[in-house]
Structure 1
Amino acid sequence: MDTNVRTVSRWENGQATPSPTYRERLCLLFEKNARELGILPDSAEKSVEAETPRAAPLFQSKILKHTPLLVDPQIPDITERASSLLGRETLLAQVKHRLLHNNRAALTALNGLPGVGKTALAVALATDQEIQARFRDGILWVGLGPRPNVHALLTRWCMLLTIPHSLAANANDREELGKALHTVIRSRRMLLVIDDAWILEDALAFQVGGGQCAHLLTTRQPQLAYAFAQDGTFLVPELNEADGLSLLARFIPQMVEQDPEGARALVQSVGSLPLALVLMGKYLATQTHSKQPYQLQDVLSTLHRTELHLREHKPLSDEPLTEEQANPLPFSPLYAAVAMSVQQLSPQARHVLSTLTIFPPKPNNFSEEAALTVSQADVETLDELWDIGLLESNRPGRYMLHQVVASYARTQSIDSESQRRFVSYMLHYLLEHVHNYEMLEPELKNIYAAFDTSLALGMQQEMVQSITSLVTIMRTQGLYNQADQYLRSALQAALEIADPSGQIVILRDLATFAELRGDYTQVLQYARRALSLARQHQLFADLSGILTLLGCGFFHCGKHQAASTSFTEGLRLARQEENYQRASILLAYLSRIARYQGQYAQAEIYAQEGLVLARQTDSQETLSQLLLSLAALSIRRGNYDQAEQHALEGLVLARRLGQHEQLGILLSTLGCVATHQGNYALAEGYFQEGLTLTRRAGRLAQVCDLLTNAGVLAIKRAEYAQAERYLDEGLQLARQLKLSPLLPFLLMCFGQVEGLLRKFNQALAYLQEGLEIARQLGATWLICDILINQGEVYLKNQQLDNASKAFHLAITADAGKEHDLRWTAIALYGLSRIAALQGNRAEAYRLGRESLNLASALPADRSEEIKRWQQSFSEQEDILYDAPSIES
């Protein structure tokens, strides 16, 4: 908006109204008129309708107007259970009072043993009318568990809050999504419930509300509860004896009345845990002689024997214990109660229960359709499990298994056919709904579990068929490393079943993820294998895509001619296939190579042609890349206003589309423009935002680029120690990643700062290494730039012959290219200073005039510098070798 944070804050708080210029910019950004944005002065209210036409909203913010209560559909439907609130009235009132009357952002945590009813309390609070009236903008719910996919769960909240999927799903780290959520939630009154947290870092990722919000956490770990809420921590204890008896009496009233001592002993034996009492109550209610008093003594003896048996035999599977299985221990009273309930099931129901443990346990849930398909059971069998208390309902049509129930049921073997049905059902569901995130989101954990099961069962065909759809989802969730592991496994499966088509697709995806990570050596390896297979088997579908990846790998490894060949062939195929979106991408890459080689006119031809194709095909994702190319070209030509215009347009587009892979490059470009314009504070802001974004996303190549440009900025500000730090880190990264195009520029910048610090030997060593690499790459602009900097270092060190040689080489390097006028002007300026130092003032004046005549090719500040030199060199000899260094 070309303003500052304070001004925007005043707009938001109603302390000021945007001026007409800013109103126009805001309307353009949000694609709404001023009345809809609430930024119209009272005096202009009547004439606003025509100010900005109504358009489809870019960002459906609910900050500016009241909206109906949003109640998260993921809130479990458990409030009607017998055990839900019995004995919790006082605790419920205390927590409710804190939520209703805390004037700051309330942080509240409930902790207690498994099965004690923490989730039930949270549900009761989330569905309470007074709570919903207090938090009138909505209630959000998330269930974590031991290994949550935090990114996917945050993305779901984004979807609920109508943050566009393209923006939310492409964010590659939890902090980035958290910021997006906080921006939307900030001024609202919302309750955010974080259920079943196991790791503090996961819980804190969902602490995204503003000052009017409250956060309610449930966890079995007291230390986690305290770390999250401190003075807002509440212990959910086991029921007292009286409440335990009341709960038991809801299932077996006559037995409790006839044998109160036996009932009391049973309550004590299970530690008054609500879940255990519900299981035991339902167990007794189903016994044929349940009205006989001695049955309580019998069930108590059975419970003790079962617990003892579990202690001695520990009937666990041979597989290593997961966190869910290991907590609680298999000889606890609750575990024994589960065992007794399972034993009274029919054989069919027992089999179905063990089969359902294929699905990850609570807080995950699964659909009734999936349960019936995988278990090959009928609804009546699911009802039997529900009636006995072993199967829970999450909401209508969806079920879940408590972690303790799942832990015991896993001790029974699961037949491989059930596992295969699970894999087939979930992966088919993935393929059917791959473009419908709303349908996929509830099943993501089940889908990942299915793919893991397919790996264990060796279901190669299913793996190969589903892998591209699976990694598409994983890419949107930022799970790059996990996607890479899955792709490697799928590639092995494709090799085993001799599926060349599948191998090509997987190799292409592996190359894509390698590019996202900045591992260009692997990009080349995978793309070459894919290309070889495609040609060997004459499978030419998406060959232009493989050539695009191959060219990208070549370019970043410094093999520009090979990159140009790949891109050109890919462009020919894309045009032949009438894939104009791909053609526009390839033209963007070809423009980049031409620009790097100093062929600016050709670079612009490519970029403009690509821009036309991108607009014709409405390929907005490619537009930001092409705008970036045009911005870089404008920088090379010294047209910084035009560069800024292109880069800002690209940045707005990338943010709107959620192109986080482009944002780092665009921020770096805008930082360079601001540096050239002398707006160092703005440049620093761009670079720091870019570094934060790219570091979190693990895009090391972009981190390296931003470190380099931040180092250049530090040089401009004479912060040489900071420049050395930035450039040293960047140089190490560039060497590690073998980023050949960036390495010589980094070495040149390092040489420049060392020269300014009078470390001449180190400076010349860096510049010479950079010059050799630039010559290998054929990067004319870099060769000239490094030679100019070498001349400057020699000049400062009074090595005038070497300085003269460097400047002359810069003039003659690849003569005839359009950018040579710039380097010639700068080199002549250097030679003029050398002549003056040698006492040849006439020659100095002549060279200075030649430099000034060519200075129109330079930025205004540079031509002014040469003009001042021409006017003053005869009067101020001290500036002959201490003149400001030339911008690169």
Structure 2
Amino acid sequence: MEFRILGPVRVSAPPEALGELRSVKRRGLLAIMLLHANQRMHEEKLLNWLWRDEDGSENLAELRRTVTKVRGVLKHTPSHPELPREGDHFRLRVDPALVDFHVFRDLSRQGSEALEKRDRHAALSLLRKALELWPEPVAFENVPLSWARRTSDRLVERELVPVCRAYYETHLALEHHDLVVSELRRSADLLERSESLAAVYLRALAVVEDAGAVADFRDRFVGDFRQHFGADPSDGFLALARRLVEEQPPAAAYGLPEPPCMLPRDVPDFVGRTGVLTTLDGWLVDDDVPGVAALDGLPGAGKTAIARHWARTRSEHFVHGQLYADLEGFGPGRPVAPSVVLARFLTVLGVPPDGLPPDADDRVALLRHKLRGRRVLVVLDNVRDAAHARPLLDATAPCSVLVTSRNRLGLTDCRHLTVPSMSAEEAVNMLHRRIHDGRARREAGALRELGRLCGGLPLGLRIAAEYVAARSDVPIADLVGQLSSRQRLLDLSSPGDSEYRTLRAVFTSSFAVLRPEAQRLLRRLGLHPSASVTSPVAAAMTGLPLPDVEDAFAVLLGARLVDQKTVDGYRLHDLVHAYAADSARRYLGAEERRDAVLRMVEFYRGTVDNAVRAIAPSLTEVPALAIAAQVEPLELADREHAMAWCAEQRSQVLAVSRAAAEAGLHEQVWRIVGRFGEILKRNGDPREVVEIHEVAVRSAQVSASRLGEAMLTNNLGSALLGVDDFEQAEIAFKRALRLSRELGNELGEATSLHNCGTAAFARGDFARAGRLFTEGLALFTGLDHPAGQWRAYLHLGDVEWKRGQTAAASLCYRHALAIERNADVLVKLAQFHQGNGEPGVAVEYGREALRLHREARHERAVCGDLLVLAQGLHGLAEHEESMSCAKEAAGLAESCGDLRARASAFEWMGVCAEALDDRGQAVGHWRIAAGLFEELTDSRVARVRARIVETGAVRTVPGQRHAGNGSGEDLRDLPAGRDREGRHREALRPAEPGQAAADGRGSCDQHRHGAQ
């Protein structure tokens, strides 16, 4: 707040400017103008108000000098309001939102409107904020003028008192008698001057205290009122006080002994959960209105521990006690009836057993009466559902209530919070505290792995920690190895625990109360290899219509056994997924399990086929296989939708393909991978691509499909190029070539022949690579296959460039571009022109390639494009944009698992930082690059280390070119050398001819070019 007149007059301005307000007249003038902000004030009125106490001092010139001084102060405030003269008037032009009085009025108005709408909670919040602006019942406190005193009294009476009355009347309506008494007692100055506030106080006091306290206050108030006003309070006030004294029973009638505390012991070694605890503070402590908060979440998520810890550590806010009941909503027996809990609470509050009403409704009414006006916290633990909690919430309405349940209760007038699993850090801290021996400090990695296996689930962490602690002589890593199967974790229990404290028993207690269709769904979700699943997949696995599956998911969601991540995407906690998988094995027949898995695999196979058809319709389809009956794959006719699905479901397709192979569904496996292989290469870890293609090759062999084996063996070679295993890639391509020739598949032969060339090129045998590319080009030309032709020309250009024949290389690249304006060709042209000292042309081609690869969501290619573009921009002295490209490339390289590209990106970031004259940042980037190159046994590590040493001795001028400053030429190392393992390596791969071949982008996947 920039200007304050409620209390003393204060202004946000530097101390030297505030010195001008030492004058009473200047403070008075400022107070008047702020009170009447944006209103015209006549000079005579200002003279009268400011100089009225001084005879003959109505001096217009003095007033104007005072105005000038105040203007000087205003110029030093943040908003610089103006105080212009308008004829014989002055007007302060100021934003009312900067003046506390006008903010007070606005909040008061909003609070009144909320009361009219019967939104008491919102009204209380608004009125409280208004009253916080007026801490004492006075205005203009540091302006000792008669005008200021009169106006202050008027504002208190007409502005402050009505807001106070509305605020406390609202609290009374909500039965917050204790709060009203305690707060008004602290406002004695205001209370003794306001009959209406005194009446509110009396009504609250009659509930909190006995008749004697009411009579004492009445007598004191009447005496103070007479002294202040010279008259008695109104007859209405006196009649109210008399009635309250006569009707008020003694305090003992409430039968409330010492404040009760029924809370169980706090959880030992409680850790973390700061966010949840802070949220509960805001809901149940910071708000003036006692409310209801419900914690829900997965079984074992720690809801009870949080509730007990929070209640124990916030007891000072609930001075009249804490009531607690475990309703055992999910125990092995029947849940505790609400009438039993009511009886317990009433007994604790002083009602003798023979005085308990037999009827539950009467118990609700009596407990509500007992808690009236009291600041009591009620904790209702392990509530089954909304019906289980509702009678108790009705009875405890005057109090703050904290409820825990595994289910989302959906109660009205209740705030709901789902308790998440512990973070990795919280899980490790909990394990540390519970294992409490030297092993926990020595084996930090094993402890993190144990936390991961438990998925941050507190119950699982507690059981696992006690298991480890009881075996103090065994290394934690060995015990974690025993528990690596989550099935073992499900049945683990600590000594002395009942049979219901294993994770399996806890999950079973939640499973048992589910509807049959939800149980059916959960068991089949256990057959899915991933804990993440979409509702269309679930519909395929269950054979149910999609609306029925969504209804079943809603039940699981309410039971907190799944979380919803997208409109149709759900995720199970890893341990719940393990429980569901075990339940499926135990209770579903072999045929039923196989049928569900087949349906799942067929759904993915059909959807993959539809997606690839939408993304790249020119790709030749794999041999047909009818989709299983009653399975409806997703229709993804739109290219963007299809690419989004492929990116989101990449890991799912991999997992399902592995599961299909384990289930013996080999005909489906090689078709899924054969169709999805091109998409798989675009992002993610390339080692996964190799692994799944090895699985697919075996499936094709088991299926006795030589066509599928040829296709997948060729694609395996392409995947091996992506991990720089050039020798094995060539072996795979040669085998695919032999199979294609045996089958008489000319396009397959051309493709494999071309890919043998890419492997030879990658190994540095450029002469052989040129011969193979030329043979492949002849076959592609005879088959009239444009895609094969432009790739052949592209790689022939690489060979010519390596030989130093730039004119021939340029001609080959132009031939490729003429056949198809493909992103791979464009990025190669960008590299070529960059290498020939034409960064402007390189940037133009690089931007177009980047756009096309982004559209295709080809993350690996985008990473390479960004590095090529970074070089071109650096050559144009656009160092900041070059740095931006390199940074993005580093991030993409990390997500794709491409250490070599990541190392190159950090090297370029260092070059850019050096060009921007930030040597410290440059050295930091180069150190990271050196570490990565060393891990890869890449000889570029020596050059990067030399840069680090050189940078310590040479200060680079931004844009300067010298040896080692990253001009572009010094990063290409033409021709490419070999690392100490003899493998082909490149100084900065995107700048090298043959880059596409080296990372697998340049290979011709057989399924792209014609496995018929």
* Larger Rg over CA atoms: 2
Q: TM-score, normalised by structure 2?
A: 0.39
